[in-house]
Chain A
Amino acid sequence: MAILEVKNVGKRFGGLQALGNVNLSVAENSVHAIIGPNGAGKSTLLNVLVGKLIPDTGSVMFDGQSVLGRKPYEINQMGISRVFQTPEIFGDLTVMENMMIPCFAKRDGAFRMHAIESVAQEKDIVGKAENMLEEMKLIDKRGMNAASMSRGDKRRLEIAMCLAQDPRLLLLDEPTAGMARADTNNTIDLLKQIKEERDITIAIIEHDMHVVFSLAERITVLAQGTPLVEDTPENIKGHPKVREAYLGESQDAA
């Protein structure tokens, strides 16, 4: 069953057709990768999915409900969490506070005026955040300022923050961009582990073929704003169209 259904989505910026008639269907509990050369429209598509952009045509359904016209926070509350290319965390807050915020968002919704009880009294939230940090091996850094962590730890924290909301769909935007090979492999292992332990759908936009082929169960290749082909990794590897549009130019990167 498809949890995310993108139908006939088109988006134009002035004279540039960024997306033209995109159809995409992400099956529940799968890992689906969207790949494509630079300028293929991957980021535009992602921004449509999270509510940052509204497409000119088409529909985007998540779990049977349209996400179009909803604000990013509303879409998140529907169950879509997003991991950014460069980790977006609360740099001025401690790691523990970073972890508690999504827990509050999960429990209390988009806004709640809980201004009198202290954070420390929220035992369930503190417990949940601690568990999450434990699981992600960040518990010794709980009192640290998030901005002063290493890049790999920031990525880990950001993923942990997304998972704390128990999302149905986790969107990853080039999660290993700019990472050293060792960090990249750690991230791959982390994502594999997440997939094993949870009922979660992961959609990943990636440039790095190594990451894509280690994780993805299905792959959509995007070129010039339209999906070229959608198939399993094995078939994609050998697909002539894909080689031509994409793999040919970045084989050395893979």
Chain B
Amino acid sequence: MFGLDKKDAGLLLIVAILALAAPFILNPFPEGSAMAQFNAGYPDLMQRLVIFGIFAIGFNILFGLTGYLSFGHAAFLGVGSYAAIWMMKLLTMNVIPAIIVSVMIAGLFSLLVGWISLRRSGIYFSILTLAFAQMSYALAYSVLTPITGGETGLQPKYTDPRILDGALPDGQMPRANLFGLDMKDGFELVMGNWVFTFNAGYYIAAVVMLLSFYISIRIFRSPFGMMLRAVKSNQQRMNYTGLNTKPYTLAAFVISGMYAGLAGGLLVAMDTQVGAERMFWTASGEVVLMTILGGAGTLIGPVLGAGFIKYMENIVSKINKTVLEQWFAFMPDGIEDVMVALVYPFVGKGWHLTLGLLFMLVVIFLPGGLVEGGQRIGNLFRSKKAKDTSPDGSKTPAE
């Protein structure tokens, strides 16, 4: 199917089903129940899940395959966002030109940054990318204010030229759309106590994510992808096999920069505003976390990581003292208080603490991330089943 082998096609299919059925899957709790606040099936969050999935998929093409750890990828996301918002201000509120231009501009910018940064490897490369991202952030905040809006950021305004769009009716705010389909359009499906929201913006983002995922599978399975893994494995042998590593790594860098730009453009398409803070280095750190947590170098890992972090962020940060007290209410009073006191620092505003700990645990014990965890559990079951059948030595790399 689509030039993929059976296993990859199956993987794509699973991701597609999960993405398309997300409004159901993420809303497991009936409306009005105590757990309803933990539903994640609202458009804003679902959009972020898939958009950061795209960001992480792209980052993984660089880090997972070549091993070059960039600490500045948020800069490309930010540049993509600014490009998209300018398209919306100048050209049209249709998201198509905005997204295309954001990918192109981010690609050009990453070509420049990559061309310079890739002269060094290891920690020097990480520091160079970090320096570029921090420079972009500082400039966006200060000197480039006419282009970036500085601290206030940018939003489409009623008075923007928008040469392709007709004049807006009086008082109506410009809204992002796809040939007239408003990103915020959607309908709610009420089934008994459950309410499921289907949102146009989410589905557009999800389709783009599936497309990105598909392209990433093709890259992983291509000779180009194999060369990138070879770069990570042994650059010396690459050079003495007549292969020039620079264009390979640069191409990977630019591709991942374009993915970041695409994510930035989509963020603007869904929520038409940009601020410089999305270029801050913590944002670059976040995509590193997502990729590692899910499993760097694996196909599905970054998607899982991005989904997991954004979902948990939403859930965990909503847990407060009252919720905890409800949860532990079945315990005797003294123990209940102790449990609440023990758990409280890790939830609500303490989400980053949980994230940091989780991340450390993954790096220490599970360098392959959630995917490796899943495989280990899988192997546990399989080895029980297949004790008498002979073990199969061959393995598929980088699933």
Contact = CB atoms under 8 A, between A and B. Distances in A.
A and B touch in the complex (CB under 8 A): yes
A89 interface: yes
A182 interface: no
B2 to A, nearest CB: 11
A27 B237 CA distance: 26
Interface string A115-144: 111111110010000000000000000111
Contacts of A93: 226, 229-230, 233, 397
Interface stretch (B74-82, B167-175, B242-250, B355-363): B242-250
B121 interface: no
A106 B229 CA distance: 18
The B contact surface, by secondary structure, is helix
A161 interface: yes
Contacts of A97: 226, 229-230, 397
Interface in A60-108: 71-74, 76-77, 81-82, 84, 88-94, 97, 100-102, 104-106, 108
Contacts of A76: 239-242
A71 B239 contact: yes
Interface string A144-185: 110000000000000001000100000000000000000000
A74 B226 CA distance: 21
Q: Which of B230, B240, B397 has the most C-beta atoms of chain A within 10 angstroms of its own C-beta?
A: B240
Given A90-B233, A120-B5, A105 B242 contact: yes
Nearest to A141: B393
A114 B224 contact: yes
A114 B3 CA distance: 14
B227 to A, nearest CB: 7
B393 A144 contact: yes
Contact of B241 (A92, A102, A114, A118): A102
Contacts of A82: 240
B312 interface: no
Interface stretch (B18-26, B34-42, B215-223, B381-389): B215-223
Nearest to A102: B241
Interface of A: 50, 71-74, 76-77, 81-82, 84, 88-94, 97, 100-102, 104-106, 108-122, 125, 142-145, 161, 165
A144 B393 CA distance: 7
B224 A101 contact: no
A89 B394 contact: no
Nearest to A88: B237
A112 B225 CA distance: 11
A156 B19 CA distance: 47
Interface residues of B, number: 34
B193 interface: no
B218 A118 contact: yes
Contacts of B393: 143-144
Contacts of B245: 73
B260 to A, nearest CB: 18
B233 A114 contact: no
Contacts, number: 125
A88 B240 contact: yes
Given A102-B241, A105-B243, A122-B223, A89 B3 contact: no
B379 interface: no
B234 A88 contact: yes
B146 to A, nearest CB: 37
B236 A101 contact: no
Interface in B200-231: 218-219, 221-227, 229-230
A213 to B, nearest CB: 28
Nearest to B297: A92
A73 B224 contact: no
A47 to B, nearest CB: 11
Shortest 8 CB-CB contacts between residues of A and residues of B: A143-B394, A76-B242, A115-B224, A110-B244, A90-B233, A92-B233, A118-B221, A111-B247
A115 B5 contact: no
A100 B241 CA distance: 11
A122 B222 CA distance: 9
Contacts of A110: 242-244, 247
A56 to B, nearest CB: 23
A111 B226 contact: no
Contact of A111 (B229, B233, B236, B248): B248
Contacts of A101: 226-227, 230, 238, 241, 243
Contact of A113 (B221, B251, B394, B397): B251
A222 B7 CA distance: 57
30 contacts: A71-B244, A73-B242, A73-B244, A73-B245, A81-B241, A84-B236, A88-B234, A88-B236, A89-B234, A90-B233, A90-B237, A93-B229, A97-B226, A97-B229, A100-B223, A100-B226, A101-B226, A102-B242, A110-B242, A110-B247, A111-B248, A113-B251, A116-B222, A118-B218, A118-B221, A118-B222, A121-B3, A122-B223, A142-B394, A143-B394
Contact of A72 (B5, B225, B240): B240
B121 to A, nearest CB: 16
B239 A73 contact: yes
Given A94-B397, A144-B393, A115 B225 contact: yes
Contact of B218 (A74, A105, A115): A115
